[in-house]
Amino acid sequence: MNKSIKGSSRAMSFNFLRLRMKILILFLTGFMLTGIPVSVAQVIDFENDFSGTTLSEFITFVEKSTEYKFFLNNSEVETNQIIALPKGEKDVLKAIDDVMDELELSYQIAEDKSIMIVSENADVQDIEISGVVTDQKTKEPLLGVSVAIPGTAKGTITDIDGKYLLKAPSNGKLSFSFIGYETYNVNVNNKKVINVELSASAVNLDEIVMIGYGTTTKRKAVGAITTMKAEKLEATPYANVGNALQGQVSGLIVSNNGGGPGSVPSISIRGGGEPLYVIDGVITSEQDFNTINSEDIQSISFLKDAAATAVYGARGGNGIVLVTTKKGEKGTLSVNYSYNYQMSQPTVLPEMMNSYEYAKLQNDAALYDGDAVVFDDATLDIIKNHTDLDAYPDNNWPELALKDFAPSINTTYR
């Protein structure tokens, strides 16, 4: 009997101890969780398209849908500015950031979810900004990234750990640039810590380029070579290759020699003389180059420096223009047709004199030289009154012979 009582009391003591331990664990867990801040993105549904609405309407909608309250820091913030925000579900902070970036406004969010909006015209103070710049793919820190304030000479570079530190206007912008990476611009918006991930530039290093008498890839090319594809040429309205190259290639200077019929522009690479033209491996003249139909060109490569032009010797001293024309391809039959119709008109034509004005000018020139007049008064009356048009005709030949516009048609079948 005594043994059973002692056994039951021990079991009760053990169960009570387990209960106390569970309560203690729950208490400690709850205590620890109260010190952990939890941040959950709030998504709201912008049912209506806010494109074309005002900033005031956007603020009113966000205040009704969330706990955020907006305050304008000065009277220079215009709430009737038009915004462009398409409808759909969006993170409210991302939507606010997009609208502020669009209107070039700065804002600051307090702990009580009040948002202070500041105009760029307000008194702005410089704040100290720091952060880390990393590679978007590898997450490794980037050394030597340029961090600059656009429009000023202020800036810095990242250290070996990808860190930077500089002072910038609280409502300004920062520009992050690095060789081989896309330039990234971000608004400060009173943020004191801005971490950035840069993405590598999308450059096709395996693209085929012409070099001298052969081809290579951009990855292996060591000289200054620029290649222009047929797509860019076909997008221009010019049938002449020289005109189509204007403003398309860096370091290429295209000068128009006049607007007369058959006139072609002259080409210069980096301000030198006439370059060497090579079409499908054959050295040709500038005239041959300008007579090529731009629709027949596959690609054009411009060799600019000595390393790229060495294979042609002294003849390539002013640079080389390498042209590769289109060739037939294996596969199904395809036919391309292009039609270009242009209307040309002289910008300025000289005003022609009539016969009477010309006769008087002849008499004035003769008197100036000390000679007798060419037409006497009787003859001048005949010319003026058109009494003898067979002897003294009065015709404006440019007006009679020329049309107002000169049509030009270029048709290509491939």
β-bridge mates for residue 302, sequence order: 226, 321
pLDDT of the residue at 364? 93
| CA–CA separation, 244 and 248 (whole Å) | 8
Q: Report the chain's mean pLDDT, rounded to a whole number.
A: 75
Distance from CA of residue 297 to its chain's centroid?
25
pLDDT band at 235 (very low <50, low <70, confident <90, very high): low
Note the pLDDT tens digit of each residue in 84-105: 777 778 888 888 888 888 887 8
**If you write DSSP's letter for every residue of 353-388 in order, what string do you get?**
P-HHHHHHHHHHHHHHTTPPPSS-HHHHHHHHHTS-
pLDDT of the residue at 110? 73
| Distances from the Cα of 187 to the Cα of 42, 54, 97, 140, 360, angstroms | 22, 21, 9, 23, 74
Note the pLDDT tens digit of each residue in 151-189: 677 888 899 899 999 988 887 889 998 877 888 989 888
What is the fold, at CATH topology level, of the domain defined by 45-119? Phage tail protein beta-alpha-beta fold (3.55.50)
Note the pLDDT tens digit of each residue in 323-345: 888 877 777 877 777 777 878 78
The yes-or-no verdict on residue 11 having pLDDT over 50 is: no
3-state secondary structure string across 216-248: EECCCCCCCEEEEEHHHHHCCCCCEHHHHCCCC
Of residues 4 and 169, more confidently modeled: 169
Of residues 266 and 50, more confidently modeled: 266
* Contact (Cβ atoms closer than 8 angstroms) between residue 106 and residue 71: no
DSSP annotation of 67 reads: S
Q: What is the mean pLDDT of residues 109-134?
A: 77
CATH class of 208-325: mainly beta
The yes-or-no verdict on residue 219 having pLDDT over 60 is: no
CB-based burial label for 27 (10 Å; 0-12, 13-18, 19+): exposed
Of residues 61 and 210, more confidently modeled: 61
pLDDT of the residue at 9? 44
pLDDT of the residue at 22? 53
Distance, first Cα to last Cα, the chain:
112
Q: Where are the domains of the chain?
A: 45-119, 126-198, 208-325, 355-395
Q: Residues for the chain: how many in total?
A: 414
β-bridge mates for residue 111, sequence order: none
CB-based burial label for 189 (10 Å; 0-12, 13-18, 19+): buried
pLDDT of the residue at 181? 83
Q: What is the mean pLDDT of residues 352-364?
A: 91
pLDDT band at 132 (very low <50, low <70, confident <90, very high): very high
DSSP annotation of 274 reads: P
DSSP E strand boundaries for 92-213: 105-109, 114-119, 126-135, 146-148, 155-157, 163-169, 173-177, 184-187, 196-198, 208-211
Residue 386 has which token pair? 């058109």
| CA–CA separation, 201 and 381 (whole Å) | 80
pLDDT band at 13 (very low <50, low <70, confident <90, very high): very low
Compute the half-sphere exposure of residue 134: CA atoms within 13 Å on the CB side of its CA. 9
pLDDT of the residue at 20? 55
Angle at 332 between CA 329 and CA 336, to 5 degrees: 75
Second-level CATH architecture of 126-198:
Sandwich (2.60)
**If you write DSSP's letter for every residue of 293-341 in order, what string do you get?**
BGGGEEEEEEE-SHHHHGGGGGGGTT-EEEEEE----SSS----EEEEE
Which range, 3-17, 296-310, 373-387, has the best average confidence (pLDDT)? Answer: 373-387
The yes-or-no verdict on residue 217 having pLDDT over 50 is: no
The yes-or-no verdict on residue 14 having pLDDT over 50 is: no
pLDDT band at 1 (very low <50, low <70, confident <90, very high): very low
3-state secondary structure of 265: coil
Which range, 154-158, 163-167, 227-231, 275-279, has the best average confidence (pLDDT)? Answer: 163-167
The yes-or-no verdict on residue 148 having pLDDT over 80 is: yes
pLDDT band at 226 (very low <50, low <70, confident <90, very high): confident
* Contact (Cβ atoms closer than 8 angstroms) between residue 306 and residue 313: no
268 closest CA partner among 280, 281, 256? 256
| CA–CA separation, 127 and 276 (whole Å) | 56
β-bridge mates for residue 210, sequence order: 215
Question: Is the pTM here over 0.85, yes or no?
Answer: no
| CA–CA separation, 304 and 324 (whole Å) | 17
Note the pLDDT tens digit of each residue in 31-88: 444 443 334 457 777 776 677 778 888 888 888 888 888 876 555 677 778 887 777 7
